[in-house]
Chains A and B, each alone.
Chain A
Amino acid sequence: MITFMNNSDSEEESCNERTSLMSAESPPVPSYQDGLQASEAGEAQAHRKRRTGGSCNPTNMADGEAPGRGVPVRASTSESEEEELTLKYGAKHVIMLFVPVTLCMVVVVATIKSVRFYTEKNGQLIYTPFSEDTPSVGQRLLNSVLNTIIMISVIVVMTVFLVLLYKYRCYKFIHGWLILSSLMLLFLFTYIYLGEVLKTYNVAMDYPTLFLVIWNFGAVGMICIHWKGPLQLQQAYLIMISALMALVFIKYLPEWSAWVILGAISIYDLMAVLCPKGPLRMLVETAQERNEPIFPALIYSSAMIWTVGMAKPDTAPRGPSQQTWDAAEDGRENHRSPSHAASQMSETSPAPTHPITSLEELEEEERGVKLGLGDFIFYSVLVGKAAATASGDWNTTLACFVAILIGLCLTLLLLAVFKKALPALPISITFGLVFYFSTDNLVRPFMDTLASHQLYI
């Protein structure tokens, strides 16, 4: 999954995420940072996600990777203060991403450990046609590599398709595609999930109640994600749909294929974001050429606006203000949704419009950090698979969890240093994979042997 960490083309101009968070249809506010508009737009491009989802037919696999990005704060003051602000806010940004990533992983691990449905083998997706039920190891390895090749090519094709759609301005098509995917995710998958949870705990629910619950959940979700809604509710919905998507991946990807796919996708993410001819990079550049704000499709944003008034005695920053999101209706979006067998993640573009207050009040602004939902999904897939397959051992799950968090931290650090779009998958997934295999094979026997003698190290 390619995740954008920052706008790659606006190093010269200071980036201001504020306007990039504005919805596409609202006119650019004549802000005091006029010169930053362009960089803003460019920065907004960084949110472009590669979209690999196809139409919403059940066999479509879309790989949704939302570019993750962190936006360093640019203060209008001196460079050193700016650097300090970057770091100070950098630490805050890291925590603002730790929390949702942790929540998503907790939901996935809790579900995997309690609901049997997601660990049962019930067929495979059409994108991984080769079965892994072969007797020989070599054959199994070959099958998983072939599955990976097919999956990655589907993702590449979808991404290129998305780039073409965007290039030829087929915004309505993209927009419709997104809405259909989020519909499927919010209604169908939630229904299945709820059904399985109820089955696990042997709770009966009648159909009218079920209909009411699912309808409300889904409708509010659609509104929050595609239109306006309280920031935290929107964040919660994005976390939930990432978790649902990750669960589906965990269920339908065969064992070895899942690991190889995770590895391959982080390599692809790296290439697609950093190579000059990478799809995501081309998307970003196209959007910048047109000077359009990107419709940040499925991107988790933890934007906060802090206003520090100069003339006020109370200079404590107000907490994060509730932002209303304004979804872009012009359909210009660019997103990469992880596709799941039956859904297409709708990329929603949380584009909050916050009332631009008077110039004097906005002395300093904290930009939120954005991370693509695809990153959430693949992190959760890794941890969920570790929880599902690590022979009942919790050490492996925890080790992968720590590894992913550290990878995220390092990626954000690199973002603060390089200040351009960066893929958020490679480092975390690499650490996660290394820790998974080493903990499962090396640490687990050691710790088990120690525990059986009640030895502590």
Chain B
Amino acid sequence: MGAAVFFGLAGIAFGPALALVLLTVAAEPLRVIVLVAGAFFWLVSLLLASLVWFISVHLSDREDAKLQYGLLIFGAAVSVLLQEAFRFAYFKLLKKADEGLALISEDGRSPISLRQMAYVSGLSFGIISGVFSVINILVDSIGPGVVGIHGDSPYYFITSAFLTMALVLLHTFWGVIFFDACEKRRYWCLGLVVATHLLTSGLTFLNPWYEASLVPIFLITLCMGLWAFVTAGGSFHNILKCLSCKQEDDSRVMMYSALQVPLED
């Protein structure tokens, strides 16, 4: 362990997130605000879930390991449901903000679209969720130590990093799908998002049997990615157009600078 492990893990876990933030979010102030506010909403949901778990633990028998494990599962499930509930609450808030922005803008359109806000909010949930899951592990990896010396898996760090990366991407995709489903009132999509979140969280209970947990989670990530891409309006045609770097025809009227004052005779 050491700096190499730390940087490697941090890169695996947060590389995509960092790239996405730097390329798409950092330049626009409104998106940054949506990002931070999304993190706040996720934190509040975590707080409530921890409260529920804490109370349940204190009301129960501490010595019973099985019961504690059961309560942990219960706490995780409550947390997932609360996260989705707060995602819905954030959707409502952003919808209102969108309407407000559109109202006060010159041309009746808000400077940020609901789709962009969906993406940024999903990203924010993902980043804060990933950070809270893995930051202590990352910091511990800088120091000395041997992983799994007591019989646990020696791949703890790297699987944690990959799981975090999957989680960040999953939250981003869920954000896009969720907001779109709320917009179009497709409640089966909502249910599916919640179900996949519960499934993903449940799959991590199979750790350290990593073949059974990591591989399905990455498959789910891929599927969610495709679904989100299609939901956001992407298609094969779009990809081809993007890859061929064709420029759109400029349909604007000739720019005024091309007009010239007629020369004086």
A406: chain B residues at CB < 8 Å are 36-37, 40
**Which one of A43-51, A256-264, A286-294, A435-443 is at the B interface?**
A435-443
**A98-B32, A313-B256, A455-B76 are known contacts. Are A445 and B104 too (CB-CB below 8 A)?**
no
**Which one of B197-205, B222-230, B234-242 is at the A interface?**
B197-205
* Count of A-B residue pairs with CB < 8 Å: 117
A236: chain B residues at CB < 8 Å are none
Other-chain contact of A445, B54, B128, B201, B205 (Cβ < 8 Å): B54
* A445, B36: Cα distance in complex, Å: 24
**A446-B54, A456-B163 are known contacts. Are A409 and B33 too (CB-CB below 8 A)?**
yes
**A94-B33, A406-B40, A447-B132 are known contacts. Are A457 and B137 too (CB-CB below 8 A)?**
no
**A393-B136, A447-B132, A450-B76 are known contacts. Are A438 and B201 too (CB-CB below 8 A)?**
no
Chain B interface, number of residues (Cβ within 8 angstroms): 51
Other-chain contact of A84, B105, B129, B133, B257 (Cβ < 8 Å): B105
A402: chain B residues at CB < 8 Å are 36, 39-40, 43, 128
A449 at the binding interface (Cβ < 8 Å):
yes
Q: Which chain B residue shows the least CB distance to A443?
A: B50
- Residue pair A87, B104 in contact (C-beta under 8 Å): yes
Other-chain contact of B136, A395, A435, A456 (Cβ < 8 Å): A395
A80: chain B residues at CB < 8 Å are 104, 106
* A447, B8: Cα distance in complex, Å: 23
- Residue pair A439, B205 in contact (C-beta under 8 Å): no
- Binary flags per residue of B21-39, CB closer than 8 Å to A gives 1, else 0: 0000000011011001101
Q: Which chain A residue shows the least CB distance to B34?
A: A91
B141 at the binding interface (Cβ < 8 Å):
no
- Residue pair B36, A81 in contact (C-beta under 8 Å): no
A9 at the binding interface (Cβ < 8 Å):
no
- Binary flags per residue of A399-438, CB closer than 8 Å to B gives 1, else 0: 1001101100100000000000000000000000001001
- Residue pair B49, A446 in contact (C-beta under 8 Å): yes
A361: chain B residues at CB < 8 Å are none
B83 at the binding interface (Cβ < 8 Å):
yes
B11 at the binding interface (Cβ < 8 Å):
no
A88 at the binding interface (Cβ < 8 Å):
yes
- Residue pair B36, A454 in contact (C-beta under 8 Å): no
Chain A nearest CB, measured from B259 CB (Å): 11
A95: chain B residues at CB < 8 Å are 29, 32-33
B106: chain A residues at CB < 8 Å are 80-81, 84
Band of interface residues on A: 35 or more
A212 at the binding interface (Cβ < 8 Å):
no
A446: chain B residues at CB < 8 Å are 46, 49-50, 53-54, 75
Other-chain contact of A442, B29, B47, B101, B167 (Cβ < 8 Å): B47
A398: chain B residues at CB < 8 Å are 128, 131-132, 135
A329: chain B residues at CB < 8 Å are none
* A410, B40: Cα distance in complex, Å: 12
Q: Which chain A residue shows the least CB distance to B170?
A: A456
A173 at the binding interface (Cβ < 8 Å):
no
Q: Which chain B residue shows the least CB distance to A83?
A: B104
A403: chain B residues at CB < 8 Å are 40, 43
Chain A nearest CB, measured from B88 CB (Å): 17
Q: Which chain B residue shows the least CB distance to A99?
A: B32
Q: Looking at B29, B53, B160, which has the most chain A CB atoms within 10 Å of its CB?
A: B29
- Residue pair A438, B101 in contact (C-beta under 8 Å): no
A215 at the binding interface (Cβ < 8 Å):
no
* A145, B191: Cα distance in complex, Å: 51
**A393-B136, A456-B133, A456-B163 are known contacts. Are A409 and B54 too (CB-CB below 8 A)?**
no
B123 at the binding interface (Cβ < 8 Å):
no
- Residue pair B47, A438 in contact (C-beta under 8 Å): yes
A92 at the binding interface (Cβ < 8 Å):
yes
- Residue pair B156, A453 in contact (C-beta under 8 Å): no
B67 at the binding interface (Cβ < 8 Å):
no
A316 at the binding interface (Cβ < 8 Å):
no
- Binary flags per residue of B63-88, CB closer than 8 Å to A gives 1, else 0: 00000010010011001100100000
Q: Which residues of B come within 8 Å of A, CB atoms?
A: 29-30, 32-33, 36-37, 39-40, 43, 46-47, 49-51, 53-54, 69, 72, 75-76, 79-80, 83, 101, 104-106, 111, 128-129, 131-133, 135-137, 139, 156, 159-160, 163-164, 167, 200-201, 204-205, 207-208, 256-257
Rank and list the top 7 A-B pairs by shortest CB-CB distance, nearest first: A91-B29, A442-B50, A454-B207, A446-B50, A95-B29, A456-B204, A457-B79
Q: Can you add 9 more A-B contacts, CB < 8 Å, to A402-B128, A453-B207?
A: A313-B257, A409-B37, A435-B47, A454-B160, A456-B164, A456-B201, A457-B46, A457-B79, A457-B129
A to B CB contacts below 8 Å, 16 in the list: A91-B33, A313-B257, A394-B139, A398-B135, A399-B43, A402-B128, A438-B51, A442-B47, A442-B54, A445-B50, A446-B53, A449-B72, A451-B136, A456-B201, A457-B80, A457-B201
